[in-house]
Chains A and B, each alone.
Chain A
Amino acid sequence: MLRRRAFPAWIPTALVAIFVYLAVVYAKSSDLITTYWYQVIQLAALTAVSALGLNLIYGFNGQFSLGHVGFYAIGAYGSALITKDFLTKWSGNEVGSLSWIIAGQAGILVALLLAGALRVGSVWKRARAYLETGLKRHEALVLAALVGVILLAAVVALSAIATWVLEKGLVVILQNTVLKLPEALAQNVIFLLALVNGGTVAALVAYLVGLPLLRLGSDYFGIATLGFAIMVYTALQNSDTVIATMKGARGMVAIPRWTTWPWVYGGLVVCLVIMRNLIYSSHGRAVTSVREDEIAAKTMGIDVAQLKTLAFSVGGFFAGVAGGLYAHLYGFLHPSSFNVIRGFDPLIIIVFGGLGSMTGTLVASVMFALVIEGLRVVLPQGFEDWRFVIYPIILLLVMLLRQQGLLGTSEWGWLRPPLSPERDIPVPARAPRSRIAAEAEEA
């Protein structure tokens, strides 16, 4: 039967989490580690945030995505635009890009809601069916298309107006609140807003990309998301033609280097708590059921399309937040950091750590950073490139000897599934007992 745990599982986990945090703080302040290693540790932690997102999409929801690096890039550039603006006023004032990014997201949401409320799709279909009764088929099609285009144009126009008005208002609000704060505090608030918006922009893009793509089966979805990642990469290389300050293929410079260990660690903890609470809720169980058997999930009354979109958006949010942390770690962004090959990093991490294991993702992220960067130090001078011989051999060995990854689907401490509390499970008194139930009780 179920056993009640001796004490709540979160206590040892919280102690370990605090210990890890303080250990890094201490190591840095007492010069046990160099700035280089301090950055490697931060890189490992922020990579874990992104990899957790992909584990939600692929490990828990079963959707094989190769486009994760795209969301990572969107989060990085999105948040960098906001913070760079705060320092350099490239858009004309300190909060111009922040207000445009928030208002833009709101505008897209307004457009989606309006399109839903006006039932653009069904109006178009109905108009076509009505017109076909009196007109020739192609005439009806053209007229109905016209109706559809007018409706869509109305939606776009309304949301554009909403965006414009909101942007004007936001600038005034932000100028009178955030910018009135003391310099150091204002900077932190702007950074937080930048990270969150990097995440939400990535989530919104994931939602929009997911709507058509998530209908595809697993392998096809993988290829389609790969296409998305390449599109983002190409767009970034040519980004200077739209927003000059992004500098395109030359790389975006002068991004404030605000990422510190507390920021990265805080981001990791928040994302981990969100993920863990989501997984061990009814929604999370439904997300996992989609991975297990889509048809069975549908017959359980689960809206599979909706849950796939949910997992994909939340996963995209995590990648966006991680991207924002990355952008402010080195203060420099280049499209080549977001090419397709780099896009495999989180995939390698989650498969290596175990698909469907949050603990595995955390462990594998740290190991990944240590192997790639650690070997650079361990190997003799001139042999650094042998890292990329040793590291793939490790991957090959792990996959040959342990296909389920380091941890399989097992978890540790607070990340383990909460057992239901011990209780007697009576056959409900109102129910005449089935013989099977009685037999099982005796056994």
Chain B
Amino acid sequence: MAEVNPIMANPSVADGDPGERILDIRNLTKLFGGLRAVSNFDLTVPSGGLYGLIGPNGAGKTTVFNMVTGVYAPTEGSMLFAGQELSGLAPHTITQIGIARTFQNIRLFQNLTVLDNVRIAYHTHAGYNLLEAISRLGRFTRRDRQLTERAQDFLAVFGLQNRQLEIARNLPYGEQRRLEIARALATEPSLLLLDEPAAGMNPSETEQLMELIHFVRGEFKLTILLIEHQMRVVMGICEWITVMDFGQVIARGTPHDIQNDRKVQEAYLGTRTGKRLRFDAS
């Protein structure tokens, strides 16, 4: 691994020069018929940062993810990833240039083994062609073994080395989440999008997950953008947070700023209540 990039060591640099921004979303809008799911959304993610995107249900967070990953085409706006425009690119191309994601409701290859789930993520780096695969000649044997070994290394990092020949759907929930993150990382991304990684987890699994996200960010020199509902997670690990409501940005700042932001409290609890939100940032 290379020496630590100073920007990565100090990820709260939010408005540096464009070179330091890995993702630069400007004026992003998505209409579903008459519904403005996302409206004039701006987001700048600094390289190496751990960035949170929060908001009440239906605020448009997952829609933003779906536009960044090419699942939906934006109605308007631009999304620059390391200087390259993303809108118009096919989902698999976007993955190939370095954006990986996980899903709110886990989308593993259910009936395949844990090992194959990760090996599939390596397909674009397989390094042999169809004829070599069918004839088992040329680069096939060596490259396929390398690919398998790399996948196994990945599983080891995530504590799944003893599970590699199990069928993915038979894993316990927490391990399925881990496998999904491992699989996303195997595509060798520089930006990882996590959509509610802690959904459905118990407190100890959540604890493990937070540690894992920290570990992964440091280990793979990643920028992470995550959507999360559990305030414990968001406040605990994110360095910078953007809050959305009804498709629009209502606040951005550090976890501390967000906890004290009046608009955010209103969005979550309604306007009448004077009560403070219970953010327990443990």
Q: Which residues of A pack against B, CB within 8 Å?
A: 1-2, 274, 277-278, 281-286, 288-289, 292-293, 295-304, 310, 409, 419-421, 423, 425-428, 430-432, 434-441, 443
Q: How far is the CA of A435 from the CA of B247 in the complex (A)?
A: 38
Q: Which chain A residues border B219 with CB–CB below 8 Å?
A: 431-432, 434
A435 to chain B, nearest CB (A): 6
Q: Does B246 contact A (CB under 8 A)?
A: no
Contact among A2, A298, A434 with B91 in the assembled complex (CB-CB below 8 Å): A298
Segment at the A interface, from B4-12, B129-137, B250-258, B267-275? B129-137
Contact among B109, B140, B159 with A440 in the assembled complex (CB-CB below 8 Å): B159
Contact among B91, B135, B140, B218 with A299 in the assembled complex (CB-CB below 8 Å): B91
Q: Which residue of B lies closest to A435 (CB)?
A: B211
Q: Which chain B residues border A297 with CB–CB below 8 Å?
A: 109, 120
Q: Which chain A residues border B135 with CB–CB below 8 Å?
A: 277
B159 touches A293 (CB 8 A): no
Q: Which of B112-170 contact A (CB under 8 A)?
A: 112, 115-116, 119-124, 126, 128, 130, 133-136, 140, 144-145, 147-149, 152-153, 155-162, 164-165
Q: Which of B237-261 contact A (CB under 8 A)?
A: none
Q: Does B30 contact A (CB under 8 A)?
A: no
A411 to chain B, nearest CB (A): 13
Q: Known pairs A295-B107, A298-B70, A425-B152; list 11 more (Cβ under 8 Å).
A: A1-B162, A285-B112, A285-B119, A285-B120, A298-B95, A299-B95, A300-B123, A301-B95, A438-B159, A440-B160, A440-B162
A292 touches B212 (CB 8 A): no
Q: Which residue of A lies closest to B189 (CB)?
A: A301
Q: How far is the CA of A295 from the CA of B109 in the complex (A)?
A: 10
A283 touches B130 (CB 8 A): yes
Q: Which of B177-211 contact A (CB under 8 A)?
A: 178, 183-184, 187, 208, 211
B91 touches A289 (CB 8 A): no
Q: How far is the CA of A278 from the CA of B70 in the complex (A)?
A: 29
Q: Does B69 contact A (CB under 8 A)?
A: yes
Q: Which residues of B pack against A, CB within 8 Å?
A: 1, 69-71, 90-92, 95-96, 100-101, 103, 107-112, 115-116, 119-124, 126, 128, 130, 133-136, 140, 144-145, 147-149, 152-153, 155-162, 164-165, 178, 183-184, 187, 208, 211-212, 215-216, 218-219
A425 touches B92 (CB 8 A): no
Contact among A281, A302, A310 with B124 in the assembled complex (CB-CB below 8 Å): A302
Q: Which chain B residues border A435 with CB–CB below 8 Å?
A: 208, 211
B96 to chain A, nearest CB (A): 5
Q: Which chain B residues border A299 with CB–CB below 8 Å?
A: 69, 91-92, 95, 100-101, 107, 184, 187
B158 touches A434 (CB 8 A): yes
| 10 pairs from A and B in contact (CB 8 Å cutoff) | A277-B136, A293-B108, A297-B109, A297-B120, A303-B92, A409-B111, A423-B152, A428-B153, A434-B157, A437-B156
Q: Which chain B residues border A421 with CB–CB below 8 Å?
A: 145
B218 to chain A, nearest CB (A): 8
B159 touches A420 (CB 8 A): no
B130 touches A310 (CB 8 A): yes
Q: Which chain A residues border B128 with CB–CB below 8 Å?
A: 281-282
Q: How far is the CA of A280 from the CA of B116 in the complex (A)?
A: 10
Q: Which chain B residues border A304 with CB–CB below 8 Å?
A: 92
Q: Which residue of B lies closest to A278 (CB)?
A: B134
Q: How far is the CA of A127 from the CA of B106 in the complex (A)?
A: 44
B123 touches A428 (CB 8 A): no
Contact among B159, B161, B215 with A432 in the assembled complex (CB-CB below 8 Å): B215
Most buried by B among A284, A409, A426, A436: A436
